[in-house]
Amino acid sequence: MDLFFQLLINGIIVGTLYGVVAMCFVLIYKSTQVVNFAQGEFLLIGAWICWYILVQFQIPFVFGFLITLVFMAGLGIFIQMVVLRPMIGEPIISVIMVTIGLSIFMRALVNWLFGQNAVGFPEVFSTSSINIGGLYVQPAYLMSFVISIVIMAGFFYFFKYSRYGLAMRATAFNQQVAQSLGISVKQVFAMAWAISAMVSALAGVVVGMVNGVSSALSFIGIKVFPAVILGGLDSIIGAVVGGLIVGVLENMAEYVDGQFLYWGNMLTIAPFWVLIIILVIKPYGLFGTKDIERV
Amino acid sequence: MSASAAAAETPAATPAREPILSVNNIEVVYDDVILVLRGVSLDVPEGDIVTLLGPNGAGKTTTLKAISGLLRTENGEVTRGEVRFMGENIANMAPEQIVRRGIFQVMEGRRIVEDMTVIENLRLGAYTRKDGAAAVKRDLEMVLDYFPRLRERTGLAGYLSGGEQQMLAIGRAMMARPKLILLDEPSMGLAPLLVKEVFHIVRKLNKELGMTTLLVEQNAKMALGAASYGYIMESGKVVMDGTQADLLDNEDVKEFYLGGGGEHRKSFKNLKSYKRRKRWI
């Protein structure tokens, strides 16, 4: 039973991280109508850049991390302006192809610059597990959990109370309406990409600290798709819940598989099974918006 | 309320006053080929309500969008003439820059953000303001005092009734503290009683806050009741203009916009020849 709870805890911790990346995905989808298949590569690039700065310049983690965030914000805005702004008004399939191309390009670029091999992150938090009520949790994981919760609270506050958050929601609702209110849609688009890239990089650094930095980081981007679609593609809360479900499911599948079934590798496919089942029952996902209709 | 009774309430136009907005002979083209406005000119003096009347497709909404810059979002362009706002030519500027200069358009069909609450919608109206959270909060209270029934609505704005949505749209415009508000068909899709209420509010805002308003309407009776000066448009041109009293007295306006009209009913034959004579039917 201990293993069960251990995996449940792991699932929740990983799930919140998926939730954070899923939120970044939804942020871009909601405000700019772009399905960003290069989301996982933001984690990859963020982790590598942070690693490079820390190893190369030997500066304290906090500064290296801040520089990474600034770099990622710039990268997000750059990609939005150079790659995606010309695609405004093009068919959705073209935009998807562009983001897939972008993901391949960024992965190749990172492989070329930093090599294929995984490298360890300079130790920031102790990697030896600590014991909380009989369950072992790595401090880095605990940190990731706390950071994820803080980010989620930050997103909530941002969209509910800040004027830029309101402007983003208005733009997501209708761009012409947003413009009539004096909101610059270009600015909102750039902001969405900047925030999404920064927060994804943060998630990348957290995962990199635990598992080491390698191209495997970009696979989190793929894990996030079932989470996002489960939640309903345009719902921030749905992204969080979807992320949690996928994280817990993975670990539960591992438990069931390891204890009873011995099929092997169930953890990678279980989220997709559940995704299919939920989409059959609720085609818009768990929290997908249905338009308000007054009758 | 009859039109003449409403007339007594509105301030008389003083022609000597410097117009805050003056549109000079603008020509608007959509998609580089479709000519929609063919030389429209109008003036809006500060502190007045001016109305723009005309049948469907005359170009009223396009005129408003040319002023607010929203034309650009629909691939339209002012190709000739100028839109002067407080001395500056704002034709073809980006809409967000025009909002910052103090022109706020309340678009046709309300266009509130349906998945936000009333308060969030109102705060969104203050997006361009730079004078601090306290001033915005004061104005929020003021707007809710003007529209007390919005205060009770805590759910999503999409579930408000049509009249409440129109009030929310006007309230959201007030939050921006604009120097000029462009109202596009506030009466659209509302019950007659609500139309009256909305126009009452428009007049009240004009009187109490000095809100300069350019009002586009199909409901000529209500619009002329509120406005001090009116323009009538047809097929992309201004075909007639005059003060409230002039237009209300005009036989043609009476017949074609206000209904009823002259003492004796014209025969259909006369009407046809009349149509040829006057282009703006």
Predicted ipTM of the assembly = 0.82
Rounded distance, CA B243 to CA B247, Å? 6
Tell me the mean pLDDT in the region A199-214: 87
Report yes or no: B157 and B175 within 8 Å, Cβ to Cβ: no
Q: Quick one: pLDDT band at residue B145, thresholds 50, 70, 90?
A: very high
- Greater pLDDT, B160 or B263: B160
- Backbone torsions φ then ψ of B267, nearest 5 degrees: -80, 160
Q: Are the beta carbons of B221 and B258 closer than 8 angstroms? A: yes
Instruction: Tell me if B115 and A292 make a contact (CB, 8 A cut-off).
Output: yes
Q: Which range has highest mean pLDDT (A192-196, A207-211, A270-274, B219-223)?
A: A192-196
Mean pLDDT of the region B120-124: 93
- Say if residue B141's pLDDT is above 80: yes
Residue with tokens 């593609």, as numbered in its chain: A233
Q: Which residue segments constitute the domains of chain A, with CATH numbers given?
A: 2-281 (1.10.3470)
Indicate if the pLDDT at residue B13 is higher than 60: no
**Model confidence over A64-75: pLDDT tens digits?**
999 999 999 999
> Which residue of chain A comes nearest to B176, CA vs CA?
A181
Q: How far apart are CA A157 and CA A147, in angstroms?
A: 15
**Whether the predicted pLDDT of A216 surpasses 80:** yes
Residue A58: per-residue pLDDT: 86
Would you state the pLDDT for residue B50? 95
Q: What is the CATH number of the domain that holds B143?
A: 3.40.50.300
- What is the structure's pLDDT at B6? 42
Chain A interface mutation, best of B106, B115, B122, B182, highest count of A Cβ atoms under 10 Å: B115
B267 located within any domain = no
What average pLDDT does this structure show over B166-180? 93
Most confident of A85-94, A191-200, B107-116, B245-254: A191-200
Task: Note whether A175 contacts B: Cβ–Cβ < 8 A.
Answer: yes
Q: For position A46, what pLDDT does the model report? A: 93
Report if residue B40 sits inside a domain: yes
pLDDT value, residue A293: 63
User: For chain B, what percent of residues have pLDDT higher than 70?
Assistant: 86
Phi, psi of A33 (to 5 degrees): 55, 30
Query: For the segment B83-121, what is each residue's pLDDT rounded down to a tens digit?
Result: 999 989 999 999 999 999 999 999 988 889 998 999 999
Specify the DSSP element, H or E, that contains B53. strand B49-53
The distance of Cα A165 from the centroid of its chain, to the nearest Å, equals: 19
B199 CA to chain A: closest CA distance, Å?
22
**CB-based contact (8 Å) between B70 and chain A?**
yes
Asked if the structure places residue B277 within a domain, the reply is no
CA-wise closest residue to A13 among A120, A115, A139: A139
- Tokens encoding A180: 């009539």
Q: Is residue B82 part of a domain?
A: yes
Q: What pLDDT shows up at residue A129?
A: 73
Contact of A46 with A205, CB cutoff 8 Å: yes
Name the residue among A173, A176, A182 with its Cβ closest to that of B115: A173
Q: Is the pLDDT of residue B10 over 50?
A: no
Helices (H), B59-186: 60-68, 95-101, 118-125, 133-146, 148-151, 162-175
d(CA B243, CA A23): 56
Q: Please state, in angstroms and rounded to a whole number, the distance separating the CA atoms of residues B239 and A288.
A: 50
Specify the pLDDT at position A270: 84
**B261 domain residue, yes or no:** no
**pLDDT tens, residue by residue, B223-238:** 998 999 999 998 899 9
pLDDT category of residue A127 using cuts at 50, 70 and 90: low
Confidence check: pLDDT of B5 > 80 = no
B257, part of any domain: no
Query: Whole-angstrom Cα distance, residue A158 to residue B118?
Result: 18
| pLDDT classification of B138: cutoffs 50, 70, 90 | very high
At residue A74, the pLDDT reads: 96
Query: Where on the phi/psi map is residue B123: left (φ > 0), alpha (ψ -120 to 50), or beta?
Result: alpha
> What pLDDT score does B278 carry?
52
DSSP, res B172: H
* Average pLDDT for chain A: 86
- Name the pLDDT band for B255 (thresholds 50, 70, 90): confident
Report angle CA B154, B124, A184 to the nearest 5 degrees: 150
Residue B250 pLDDT > 70: yes
The Cα angle at residue A70 between residues A68 and A71, in degrees rounded to 5: 65
Q: Is the pLDDT of residue A145 over 70?
A: yes
Contacts of A293 (CB under 8 A, 6+ apart): none
pLDDT at residue number B262 = 52
B201 touches chain A (CB under 8 A): no
**Residue B267, pLDDT score:** 55
Tell how far CA B228 is from the center of its chain.
13
Instruction: Answer whether B119 touches A (CB < 8 Å).
Output: no
* Average pLDDT, rounded, for chain B: 85
> What's residue A292's pLDDT?
62
Q: Which of left, alpha, beta for B279 (phi over 0: left; psi -120 to 50: alpha)?
A: alpha
Asked if A174 is an interface residue toward chain B (Cβ–Cβ < 8 A), one would say: yes
Q: Shortest CA distance to B256 belongs to which of B229, B199, B218?
A: B218
**C-beta atoms of A166 and B126 within 8 A:** no
Tokens encoding A243? 């992320």
Say if the Cβ atoms of A180 and B156 lie within 8 Å.
no
**Contact: B116, A175; criterion CB under 8 Å:** no
Number of domains in chain B: 1
Greatest mean pLDDT among A24-33, B63-72, B246-255 lies in: B63-72
First to last CA, chain A: 53
Over residues A154-160, mean pLDDT: 91
Q: A244: exposed, middle or buried (C-beta count within 10 Å: 0-12, 13-18, 19+)?
A: buried
Would you call A290 an interface residue with chain B, using a CB distance cutoff of 8 Å? no
Residue B86 covered by a domain: yes
Confidence of residue B177 (pLDDT cuts 50, 70, 90): very high
The rounded distance, in Å, linking the Cα atoms of B280 and A270 is: 69
């500066």: which residue's tokens? A59
Q: Residue B238 falls within a domain, yes or no?
A: yes
Model confidence at B17, pLDDT cuts 50, 70, 90, reads low
What is the tens place of the pLDDT at every residue in A30-41? 888 888 999 999
- What's the pLDDT tens digit per position in A261-287? 777 777 778 888 888 888 888 877 788
- Sheet of B19-30, strands arranged across: B34-45, B19-30, B76-85, B88-89
Average pLDDT for residues B149-161, to the nearest whole number?
Answer: 89
Q: What mean pLDDT do residues A172-197 have? A: 92
Q: Do A294 and B159 touch (CB under 8 A)?
A: yes
Q: Is the pLDDT of residue B269 over 80?
A: no
Average pLDDT over residues B161-165: 90
| Length of chain A, in residues | 295
Domain membership of residue B215 as a residue range: 3-249
Q: Which of B61, B68, B101, B120 to mutate to test the interface with A (most CBs of A within 10 A)?
A: B120
Q: Which helix (H) or strand (E) holds A4?
A: helix A2-32
Give chain A positions within 8 Å (CB) of B73.
175-176, 179
Query: Of A163, A184, A289, which is closest to B96 when you measure between CB atoms?
Result: A184
* Per-residue confidence band for A103, with pLDDT thresholds at 50, 70 and 90: very high
Has residue A54 got a pLDDT over 80? Answer: yes
Q: Give the per-residue pLDDT at A137.
A: 76
Query: What pLDDT, in 10s, does the model give residues A14-23?
Result: 899 999 999 9
